[in-house]
């Protein structure tokens, strides 16, 4: 069947549903370089304004998966289940969750990425561990899943090349914020990794990519539909991201906090534990594993699995993590109750200190970041430290402090406690 890219762009511009053949042809032709970037940009903008029907989106995503390799995890020998987060400030859940669910008996093939902007990347955090290897061959990943039960690694270049091209294009054409394009980008990578089941942590709030709960719900629903249409048991947990998850936002300091949770040192980290266990419960349910994740966290099994995973990927679980040269306190201006500690502002401050990057090629600091000495709801005294900035480049401090202007609010009455887990979306 002969295809014309201009006809495809025009049809979507005018709100039509593209045929399965048109969708598959476009993804294949663009991946091969037979469709120009400006034409792909035009189609992305048409999708941004007119959206996609569920069936249309499922075929578009399947075509992106088919543009490259798909991992075969059939030899792993245990049920496979993964988790993906849409990103937040202090979101180190993956570091705890992968070994925890592996300790329950499932295999967790987590292909992760690096951070961009105020939201940290899982691989950046793990790179703070001396010797850690994030680049593994498919054979190495399968062997580790068989022996350890979990792996956190970078996606290989052979997975979803169409997504890599489209993502780079969307980044420079103001089409990143399209729910169908976000959903297909996330789900194509996750489905291509070969997992049987997937739990999505869709965050909403000031520190999340999806600020609106309605948008977060729409994204969650779209991704669940895509997963089920492509043979992956999928559910989504919508969680709040108005304040930092846990207390640390950085790389090495988030690894330290993750090990604290795995070791049972959870004082002041109730929010992090709550979200982690909610996701773990959903993962073991989808994997059909009848084990209580809370018990595996409490009995040390998850910590032992973490140590196995770190060793398997070349790291030293007992090695010292990088520490910043300086620490600077941001103090309470008056006494009362901390009623607001804006996640986005803290994330930007950590980013400006060097914990994040502006471009994907930029290096990051392993030791820089922000620690929340106090959290929302805590009683504080005037002059008490609220935040602790971990600084290895003093030239960055001024810009980091500027990001925190207006981020802290203190009132005479404690705030009402807000739920962290807002909803669960299932097929």
Rounded-to-integer distance, Cα 173 and Cα 140, Å = 37
Segment 82-108 shows an average pLDDT of 95
Please determine, for residue 168, whether its predicted confidence score (pLDDT) is greater than 90: no
Beta-bridged to residue 409, according to DSSP, are: 340
Q: Which of 276, 230, 282 is nearest to 424 (CA)?
A: 282
* Consecutive H or E run containing 329: strand 326-331
* CA torsion through residues 172, 178, 184, 186, sign: positive
Q: Find the catalytic residue in 163, 260, 281, 378.
A: 163
Q: What is the mean pLDDT of the chain?
A: 94
CA 149 vs. chain centroid, Å, equals 20
Q: Find the catalytic residue in 83, 84, 114, 233.
A: 84
Please determine, for residue 360, whether its predicted confidence score (pLDDT) is greater than 80: no
CATH class of 5-51: mainly alpha
Task: Write down the pLDDT at residue 95.
Answer: 97
* Consecutive H or E run containing 219: helix 213-229
Please determine, for residue 119, whether its predicted confidence score (pLDDT) is greater than 70: no
Contact between 110 and 153 under an 8 Å Cβ cutoff? The reply is yes
Rounded-to-integer distance, Cα 257 and Cα 249, Å = 10
| CATH level 3 topology of 326-411 | Aldehyde Oxidoreductase; domain 3 (3.90.1170)
Rounded-to-integer distance, Cα 223 and Cα 191, Å = 11
Q: Which residues contact 361 (CB under 8 A, 6 or more apart)?
A: none
Task: Write down the pLDDT at residue 116.
Answer: 60
Based on the residue annotation, tell me whether 84 is a catalytic residue of this protein: yes
Based on the residue annotation, tell me whether 92 is a catalytic residue of this protein: no
Q: Where are the domains of the chain?
A: 5-51, 81-157+188-318, 326-411
Please determine, for residue 114, whether its predicted confidence score (pLDDT) is greater than 80: no
For the segment 299-322, what is each residue's pLDDT rounded down to a tens digit?
999 999 999 999 999 999 999 999
Segment 112-123 shows an average pLDDT of 75
Q: Find the catalytic residue in 189, 233, 247, 352.
A: 189
- Residue at token pair 């060793």: 311
Task: Write down the pLDDT at residue 235.
Answer: 98
Task: Write down the pLDDT at residue 117.
Answer: 59
Same fold, 5-51 and 81-157+188-318: no
Percent of the chain with pLDDT over 90: 87
Query: pTM for this one?
Result: 0.94
The tokens of 380 are what? 């504080």
| Higher per-residue pLDDT: 116 or 255 | 255
Q: Find the catalytic residue in 170, 203, 247, 390.
A: 170
Q: What is the 3-state secondary structure (H, E, C) of 49-62?
A: HHCCCHHHHHHHHH
Based on the residue annotation, tell me whether 185 is a catalytic residue of this protein: yes
* Consecutive H or E run containing 310: helix 301-312
Q: Find the catalytic residue in 178, 184, 185, 235.
A: 185
| CATH level 3 topology of 81-157+188-318 | Pyrimidine Nucleoside Phosphorylase; Chain A, domain 2 (3.40.1030)
Q: Which residues contact 312 (CB under 8 A, 6 or more apart)?
A: 144, 147, 148, 151
Task: Write down the pLDDT at residue 1.
Answer: 56
Q: For residue 207, what pLDDT band results from cuts at 50, 70 and 90?
A: confident
Segment 23-50 shows an average pLDDT of 96
Q: What is the three-class DSSP state of 203?
A: strand
């Amino acid at each position: 069947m002969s295809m014309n890219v201009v006809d495809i762009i025009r049809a979507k511009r005018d709100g039509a549903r593209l045929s399965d053949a048109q969708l598959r042809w476009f993804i294949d032709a663009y991946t091969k370089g037979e469709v120009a970037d400006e034409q792909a940009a035009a189609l992305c903008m048409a999708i941004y304004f007119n959206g996609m029907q569920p069936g249309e989106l499922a075929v578009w995503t399947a075509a992106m998966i088919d543009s490259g390799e798909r991992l075969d995890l059939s030899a792993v020998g245990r049920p496979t289940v993964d988790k993906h987060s849409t990103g937040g400030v202090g979101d180190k859940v993956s570091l705890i969750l992968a070994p925890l669910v592996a300790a329950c008996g499932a295999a967790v093939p987590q292909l992760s990425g690096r951070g961009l902007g105020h939201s940290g990347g899982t691989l950046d955090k793990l790179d703070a561990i001396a010797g850690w290897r994030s680049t593994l061959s498919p054979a190495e990943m399968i062997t580790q899943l068989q022996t350890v039960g979990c792996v956190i690694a970078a996606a290989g270049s052979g997975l979803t090349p169409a997504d890599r091209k489209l993502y780079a294009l969307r980044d420079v054409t103001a089409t990143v914020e399209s729910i169908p394009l976000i959903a297909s980008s996330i789900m194509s990578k996750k489905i291509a990794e070969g997992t049987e089941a997937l739990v999505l942590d869709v965050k909403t709030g000031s520190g999340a990519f999806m600020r609106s709960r309605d948008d977060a719900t729409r994204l969650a629903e779209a991704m669940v539909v895509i997963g089920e249409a492509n043979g992956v048991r999928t559910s989504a947990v919508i969680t709040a991201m108005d304040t930092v998850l846990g207390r640390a936002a950085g790389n090495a300091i988030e690894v330290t906090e993750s090990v604290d949770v795995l070791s049972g040192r959870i004082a002041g980290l109730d929010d992090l534990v709550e979200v982690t266990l909610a996701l773990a419960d959903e993962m073991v349910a989808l994997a059909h594993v009848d084990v209580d994740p809370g018990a595996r966290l409490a009995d040390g099994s998850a910590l032992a699995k973490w140590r196995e995973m770190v060793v398997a990927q070349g790291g030293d679980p007992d090695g010292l993590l990088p520490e910043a040269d300086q620490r600077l306190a941001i103090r309470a201006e008056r006494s009362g109750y901390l009623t607001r500690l804006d996640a986005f502002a803290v994330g930007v401050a950590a980013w400006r200190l060097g914990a994040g990057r502006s471009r994907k090629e930029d290096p990051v600091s392993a030791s820089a970041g922000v620690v929340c000495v106090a959290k929302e709801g805590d009683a504080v005294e005037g002059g008490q430290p609220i935040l602790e900035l971990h600084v290895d480049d003093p030239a960055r401090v001024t810009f980091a402090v500027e990001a925190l202007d207006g981020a802290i609010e203190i009132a005479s009455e404690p705030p009402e406690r807000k739920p962290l887990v807002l909803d669960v979306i299932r097929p």
